[in-house]
Structure 1
Amino acid sequence: MVKKYANFLQFVLFFIFLSVLPSQMYAQCAGIDASKVICDIELPVNTSISLFDLLGGSPTPGGTWKDDNNSRGLNTATGVLNGQLIRRGGTYKYTYTVLGVGGCTDNTSTVTLTIGAYPGVPAPFATVCSSANTFNLFTAFNSTVMGPHSNGSWTNSSGGSVDAVIPITGLQGSFDFTYTVPPVLPCDTAPLSVTVTVTIFRAPEPGTATDLELCGDTDLGSYTDLDLHTLLAGEDMGGEWNGAGLTSLTDHNVNLQEVFDDLGPGEYIYTYTVRSFPNTRICPDQTVPITITLEKRLDFTGAQIVVSSDICEDKIPTATYSATITQGPEAIPDGEYKVTFNVSGPNGGSTTVTANFVNGIISFPVDAAYFRQVGLYTIRVTNIAATTGKQTCVNIIDNLFDELNIYPLPHLDGAVMTTFPTCQNKDSVVQISNAAQLANGNYNIVYNITGDNFATGQTANINSFGGSFNFRIPGTLNVNSGVSNITIIKITNNVTGCTNVANIQGNLVINPLPNAATVRVAINDVCLNDPVSVSVSGLGNLTDATLSYTLSDSNSSTLQTAVLTVLNGNATFIIPAGLLLNIGSTTILATNLKNNSTNCDSNLSNVSDGFSINSIPLAPIAENQIFCKVDRATVTNLFPRGPQYKWYTSATSTTALAGTYVLKSEDLYVRETSLSNCTSAPTMISVIVNDTPAPVLNPGGADFCGLANPTIADLSRVTNVPSTVAWYDAENNGNLLASSRLLVHKAKYYGFDLSTVTDCISDTNLEVTVSLIDCDVSQYAFFIPDGFSPNGDNINDTFRIPDIEFLYPDYTLEIFNRYGNVMFKGNVNKPNWDGRNSESAGFGDGIAPNGVYFYIINFNKDNRKAQQGRLYLNR
């Protein structure tokens, strides 16, 4: 029994072992977290770090790894880390994960690595050519060992911060740069630094070339000794030259005229080579080419262009056009050319086409789009250049053009016919307008007449301008009065030969001849040169007429006409004065009357009248007359005088001047009227109204010094007329002032000038306000009294500084008692202190007691300093 129990106990314990032991074994199937510090990451062993081997416990193989910090270098399948691929020092975590293990409660573990800072190892040599323009300082490290961490910073030899890529253009020599990475505890306690030395070799500089393109026929006069160095910029001198026309490697002056003359046009390449500096292989030799293009100018003088061909408007949709240029006296080489031409006209423009000259002839199409409507087009060639050239030469093209006409059909669509009424048996004019589509030119038209007159197939030659033209219907077709219908049925352009149908109609009115049997004329007697009015009567129902007439006897004339405005059968008109130059009897004879409304006229017989033309008085005798403006003379002051004399402002004026008209300098005219009421010719006189200018004051002339006692005579001397000026104390009705009279400060004086030539006093005056404070302090003595006695005896009763108002007009004065109280404030407007307090309170009646007082004077002129002093008051 005991044995069976013991066996049972052993079975139970074995079962517990089987159940419990595997659970503990697989609870941490990914192993135990681990950490490691690697301070010498640059060692080769650190290129293959097994993270799995670093885990504690018994990790299950076959799991996956994760780079928690994306540090690079980890093989996530094998867990092998290349620590030298991590670009900076610091702490990095890597997680190991095992999946699919039963009973595993913790399937991840973390390995923490601390990587020490590493600044790298400088290369033994770091050289570069300055032509590289920039240099990456990281290339100055030894490439056979681990590169430096990337989280450092660069400084130059002066300690200044620089980028890893530095500019090196133009630099030469050796330069030190220090690379510093931050410390990583516990490996480093301070930043780690290394210094690299970069040696920069200056590249040979051949310079920047400027190509040259010249026309050999026109441009080479200033290139007979071209220094090729002028086509380079920034080159090292002392290089070698090669090219046409050079005599040696050091020759850099070329005669392009000789090159062109000897070798002809073409592209000539000149090379400049600068060798690298001796004993170095860092920088290669540098060569720069210069291309000089010399071209030959072509002369198209005498060339001709023909553009075909002229058409009429109806051919526009199907027409094509081409141009042919034939060379002039100078032969043009065969080959491809660009021809540039412009086309004028409504759709004009410029085009460049490419075509071939063959045996001196080139043909090319001209786009029909230029010729989409009627008009005259000019096709002008502006340039012809070979396509293979640089076009440096301006080829000679002398007025190379042709013209192309697209003629319009002679359209009369929309035209308006206007007829002008005529008289029986007289020609009539028909006007056509608004023929907007009809070009200017000469045409033949065919028309029919129907209505009160009849004729068909009649022709007329017309000249159209601006869409308008006239044609005449002979009087033989206007036999009957009434209305004729005119219809134009066809029109032909006599220049282009283009014909078009038409249907333009209008009515022509043919008026009867007027009846003028009752016409009479009458004229009254007149004065010579007066208008002669003719009264015409018996005009019946006419409203607008023209009368033809002649004059005979004392005045005769050729046939004259007068347009009459007729009212109730009567009208008047004026005979032109040029026909009536003689006195005596004259006869008018009316010969023809025309009705202006119908333009029909009738001859008159025995329609006449006689009249007399009376003489006019002789022009009055008068002389020029002179006045002074200040006298205000009027027309009544003129000679001759009398009711028969009238004065005028012009020879043709008919309005006489009033007697109150104030005279001025001008020409006036006087006439005399006879008893027969005839007025003489005018006599001109010149009225001269003299005015003496007001005196003019010299600059600064109103400024005096009162201490000099200036007088009116002094004021006269500062004018432009010192000897003739007179001064008054008022502008009007003032008193004449004596020359010895003293001037008064700020007083106004009025100066008038009396001309010694015209004896006229000036009509205007010079107003002067005098100032007496313009004093030169250095010319006058100046003192300040030391006391005064205000006792009412009128002797020295006030304290006053003599003449200060003239010398220092802007002065201020302050007087203090011995306690510093202000007793008085004075200036030019308040100059006298009467010994009373006028400024400080508390002095009773204000009477200052006897004693010493103090003053301060501010002169406020010439930068003179203020003056202090004392004075004694003694009553």
Structure 2
Amino acid sequence: MILKILFPSKANLLHYIILLLLFFSAINTNAQCAGSDNSVTVCNIPDPSSKSIDLFSLLGSYTTGGIWTDNFFSGGLNLSTGILNAQIINKSGVYTYTYSVDNGTGCNDSATITVTIGGYSGISSPNVSACSDDLKFNLFQGFNGNFLSPQSNGTWSDNDGTGALTDNFLNATKAGLGTHSFTYTMRAIGTCPAQSSTVNVTVFRAPDPGIGNVVLLCDSDFLTFNTNLNLNDILIGEDANGKWMEVSGTSELSSSFDSTIDVRHIYDTFGAGAYNFIYSVLPSNPICDIKTSAVTIIIEKQLDLTGAKLVVNSDICENEITKATYNAVLNQGIQKIPNGSYFVTYTISEIVEPITIISNFNNGVLTFGINRLNFPQVGNYTVTVIDIARVGSLGACKSIISSISDVLNVFPLPKIDKATLTIDPVCKGFDAIVKISGDTNLTEGNYSIFYNLSDSNIAIAQQAFFKVAIGTGTFVIPASLIPVVGNIKISITNITNLFTGCTNVANITKEFGVKPLPDFSNLKLDIKEVCQNQAVVVSLSGLGILANITINYNLTGVNNATNQSLIIPVSAGNASFIVPSSSLINAGITSLVITDIIDNVGGCGSSISNGTKSFMINSIPNTPATKDELFCKNDKKTIADLTPNGTKYQWFSSVTNITILPSNTLLVSGNYYVKEVNAVTGCESGRVSAVVVISEVQAPTLNQDGQNFCGLDNPTLQNLTDNVTTNGTITWFDAPTNGNQIVLTDLLKDGFSYYGFDYSSATNCYSSALVVTVSLSNCDETPGFFIPDGFSPNGDAVNDTFRIPDIEFIYPDYSLEIYNRYGTLMFTGNKNKAEWDGKNSDSNMNLDGMAPNGIYFYIINFNKGNISPKQGRLYLNR
């Protein structure tokens, strides 16, 4: 008990002292029989005196026969003797020990001795070693065993900062090789100071045998087996100079230092199996142990199931689903499979996950059952073995499996009760065709049924066979079972799938009728003769009340065709049809033979004995021989110029046009078609074409203002040619037709029209004419031209007229007036009337026609720009 006493003020000090004395007096009185509480501190733990501390001596006066209690279970107190051995208390600290007395005579008390145990850090060994592979080296091993062991509640510190210390454990691998210092410290307690000891640990390298490995080989790799395999190459990170030892008895190693083995020799000698080799490395320091690693060579045998067969027994019908059992039997293929247990992995087409079972091969046969729940409904289930591996195999080999599968069928029962029976009415003497379709579950294949007939025709338990394709099957009711005209009822009672063997009852009926045959005894035929390759119209009569029929006929004679058939309507006993021209290619006599006629309304028909008719096919003229023509457009050729021509030939503008072209039709470029017509038979040849090409040479064109020249330059026809754009050779004429050719050196004439034609030597054709009217007044300058001052019109052909030379080229619109001395107008001139012959032709007076000799006056009006008229005089002398 710890008492904490608060001292009062000085005035009351005496009062408190009295109370305190009374308190301790009471304690001492009660403690008299067990002794008094006391305490002791033990700091020098190694001292021999620390081994025998008599706690009785610390009680003072006490009653014997009491019991000691080690309150904190220190383990250092001998409870019988009361002797405390501090050296066997492994932790420093404060401990209490209580002595209790209850002697039955009124002494019932206890006293506590408090003992403070100081820290003791021990004596470290001078040489402490650890192996580098020791992950948890206990540093307490670093104390000298000849001395007292240190207490355990101290703390360790890493003096070198290795980071490898956890509590009192050193990770030697992390610390690394070399000497490392660690300090063990016991903290101060009470009056006992702190203590510490330093342990120096030298870490020695552990031997490294490397990382062993397993070499997994398959015997299918036999050719690649290493005949000189160095076991050292299989180890990873091993120390050199280790020793090898084999434990499988292969005798491949010649000594402990030999590391080379022949894997192929091992396989050839011992076969498949596991072969072990041990590698040992000695330590360089005795602190470390010998280390070993192992290399295991495992050779497994590959399973080859090529040719293996799987049979899953057995196919069933759907009514057996709930009670069926299934067994799969796998027979080995070309390789003999050893007896033993095997993992068999297989798939079922309707199940996502593969299934693996363990079963035994016994003499090449492995059998396993398959749960019927895997086949819950109608369908085709493919069971496929995808892998087989021996139990215990490490998977070195992948089994050779090609295609090992079988199909298990859960067949449906054939069901036709909701099917549709289709039976067309039949004619007497014909088989009835029954079609089964609609709502059935019939798969493609062969079936048999049993049926009954009733009403007008009766038959019991008749069997029929049929094949179903695309959900439909048909079978025949023989004509012999239905000889009587009238209504019949068929009832199907049973159906069997001949492939699956599944049989089911049936309950389906259908009515149909047997019809009478039509009468064609009054039939008559009429056929007109035709031209070769023309269709023939065949007219029929005597067909009675029939409305629509199918005709089957043959052609014989010069033209042959068999098994021809067509449908035609009938009106009032009459009908007609056409034999196509493609069937009548040969000229001569052809016979049409109707073999039978079917009434399309009633559906019945019969053979015909009076349905033969012969007719003539006239030949057609030969196809005309035509000639392609090339004409010039200017020649204006017509139909009459084409080849061939004559009254028996007809020309057309297209292959289908029916309008005959008159012989005077002007030709254009294009195709023309001709045929020959036989006037007697009316037969026509086929049309053949003639190609007409009307060649047109592009007319030359005059360049802008190319007709304008200056007469002063004396231009020639060559100058005009130079002003023309042409695609060929241009030729000039003085008229558009039948004109005279003009040479290029001729001088041009003012106001004269020239006709130019382009010529193509390739087609020998001329173009249309280019008409050019030449103007020689296109002069730019205004010279001082010469005006004669007289002339002598005496008829000697010398100076007989008055003319101003070249004035019309410069002033094409000029006018000239000549007056006599009395002012009388004698002559009016221009470029079209340029010469005065000395007569008074323009006088409006009754004067003599011949102007007398003398002086005359002229006025020239230039009529160009703003040039003023010019006046002058001239002298006339005859």
- TM-score, scaled relative to structure 2: 0.52
Question: Which residue of structure 2 lines up, in the alignment, with residue 262 of structure 1?
Answer: 269
Select which of 267, 276, 296 maps to 1:291: 296
- Cα gap change, 1:487 to 1:39, in 2 (>3 Å): same
Which position in structure 2 is the counterpart of 1:199?
A: 202
Amino acid at match of 2:26: Y
Residue matched to 2:769: none
- Out of 215, 222, 242, the residue aligned to residue 225 of structure 2 is 222
| 1:480-518 Cα shifts (integer Å, max 9, x gaps) | 444321112234555676655433322234455568899
CA contact (8 A) 2:426 2:515 kept: yes
2: distance between equivalents of 1:682 and 1:62? 155
Residue 722 of structure 1 corresponds to which residue in structure 2? none
C-alpha separation in 2, matches of 1:585 and 1:137: 134
1:132 touches 1:168 (CA, 8 Å); kept in 2? yes
Q: CA RMSD in A?
A: 6.7
Find the aligned partners of 1:684 and 1:40 in 2 and give their Cα distance: 143
Residue number in structure 1 paired with 2:134: 132
Corresponding position of 1:240: 243
Give a deviation string over 1:673-720, Cα, whole Å, max 9, x none.
9999999689999xxxxxxxxxxxxxxxxxxxxxxxxxxxxxxxxxxx
- The one-letter code of the counterpart of 1:478 is I
Q: Which residue of 2 aligns with 1:417?
A: 421
For 1:109-258, list aligned pairs within 5 A: 121-137=123-139, 139-141=141-143, 144-147=149-152, 149-150=154-155, 153-157=157-161, 163-164=166-167, 165-169=169-173, 173-179=177-183, 194-216=197-219, 218-219=221-222, 221-243=224-246, 244=250, 245-258=252-265
1:472, CA displacement in angstroms? Answer: 0.3
Paired residues of 1:422 and 1:598 also in contact (CA < 8 A): no
Instruction: State the Cα deviation string for residues 734-765 of structure 1 (Å, max 9, x = none).
Output: xxxxxxxxxxxxxxxxxxxxxxxxxxxxxxxx
C-alpha separation in 1, matches of 2:232 and 2:547: 98
* 2:446–2:497 contact (8 Å) kept in structure 1: yes
1:503 alignment partner, one of 502, 507, 523: 507
Task: Classify 1:23/1:241 alpha carbon distance in 2 versus 1 (closer, same or farther; 3 Å).
Answer: closer
Q: C-alpha offsets along residues 157-207 of structure 1, whole Å, 9 cap, x if unaligned?
A: 57x795444433376533323447697588699x97653222222222222
Structure 1: how far apart are the matches of 2:139 and 2:574? 121
Structure 2 counterpart SS, 1:453: coil
Question: Within 1, Cα distance between the matches of 2:689 and 2:54?
Answer: 139
Matches within 5 A, 1:629-640: none
What amino acid maps onto 1:472 in structure 2?
A: V
Structure with max Cα Rg: 2
Q: Separation in 2 of the partners of 1:275 and 1:211?
A: 23
| 2:280 aligns with one of 270, 273, 280 | 273
Give, in angstroms, the shift of residue 359 of structure 1.
6.2
Counterpart CA distance in 2 for 1:369 and 1:681 is: 82
Structure 1 residue 296 displacement after superposition: 4.8
Contact 1:526–1:614 (CA under 8 A) maintained in structure 2: no
Offset at 1:448? 0.7
Contact 2:65 2:101 in 1 (8 A): no
Deviation at 1:225, TM superposition (A): 1.2
Aligned match of 1:754: none
Q: What is aligned with 1:689?
A: none
Aligned 8 A contact 1:544 1:595 in 2: yes
Is the 8 Å Cα contact of residues 153 and 186 (structure 2) preserved in structure 1? no
Q: Would the alpha carbon gap of residues 442 and 56 (structure 1) be closer, same or farther in structure 2, given more than 3 Å must change?
A: same
Match for residue 472 of structure 1? 476
Distance in 2 of aligned mates of 1:71 and 1:532? 138
Alpha carbons of structure 1 residues 196 and 458: separation in structure 2 relative to 1, 3 Å: same
The 5 Å alignment of 1:371-386 reads none
Percent sequence identity over aligned pairs:
32
Contact 1:141 1:196 in 2 (8 A): yes
1:494–1:551: structure 2 CA closer, same or farther, 3 Å change rule?
A: closer
Helix, strand or coil at the partner of 1:211: strand
Instruction: Give ranges in structure 1 of 5+ residues lacking alignment.
Output: 1-18, 101-106, 625-642, 653-668, 686-875
- The letter of the residue matching 1:236 is D
Q: After the TM superposition, which residues 348-747 of structure 1 pair with which residues of structure 2 at under 5 Å, given as runs?
A: 387=391, 392=396, 412=416, 414-433=418-437, 438=442, 440-465=444-469, 468-492=472-496, 500-513=504-517, 546-548=550-552, 557-563=561-567, 578-579=582-583, 593-594=597-598, 599-601=603-605
Change (3 A) 1:323 1:254: same
Does the CA contact (< 8 Å) of 2:532 and 2:617 recur in 1?
Answer: no
2:287 to 268, 282, 286: 282
C-alpha distance in 2 between matches for 1:127 and 1:382: 60
Residue segments in structure 2 that go unaligned for 5+ positions in a row: 1-18, 103-108, 631-650, 657-669, 678-683, 693-878
Is residue 338–residue 352 contact of structure 1 (8 Å, CA) maintained in 2?
no
Q: Please report how far the alpha carbon of residue 254 of structure 1 lies from its aligned counterpart in structure 2 after TM superposition.
A: 0.9
Q: Deviations over 1:244-273 (max 9, x none)?
A: 212121111111222222334433222211
Q: State the match for 1:340 in structure 2.
A: 344
Distance, in Å, in 2 between the alignment partners of 1:427 and 1:72 is 120
Query: Matched residues in 2 for 1:536 and 1:62: separation?
Result: 154
Q: Which residue of 1 aligns with 2:835?
A: none
Cα contact 1:215–1:295 (8 A) shared by 2: yes
How far apart are 1:455 and its partner, in Å? Answer: 1.6
Change (3 A) 1:287 1:80: same
SS at match of 2:173: coil
Q: What residue is the counterpart of 2:783 in the other structure?
A: none
2:26 corresponds to which residue? 26
CA change 1:167–1:161 in 2 (3 A) is closer
CA distance in 1, matches of 2:138, 2:219: 50
Number of corresponding residues: 611
SS in structure 2 at match of 1:283:
coil
Report the secondary structure of 2:267's partner residue. Answer: helix
| Aligned residue number for residue 867 of structure 2 | none
Structure 2 vs 1, CA of residues 327 and 646 (structure 1 numbering), >3 Å: closer, same or farther? Answer: closer
- 3-state DSSP of counterpart to 1:156: coil
Counterpart contact for 2:530–2:616, Cα < 8 Å: no
C-alpha distance in structure 2 between counterparts of 1:610 and 1:528, whole Å: 9
Pairwise CA distance, 1:129: 1.9
2:200 aligned counterpart, secondary structure: strand
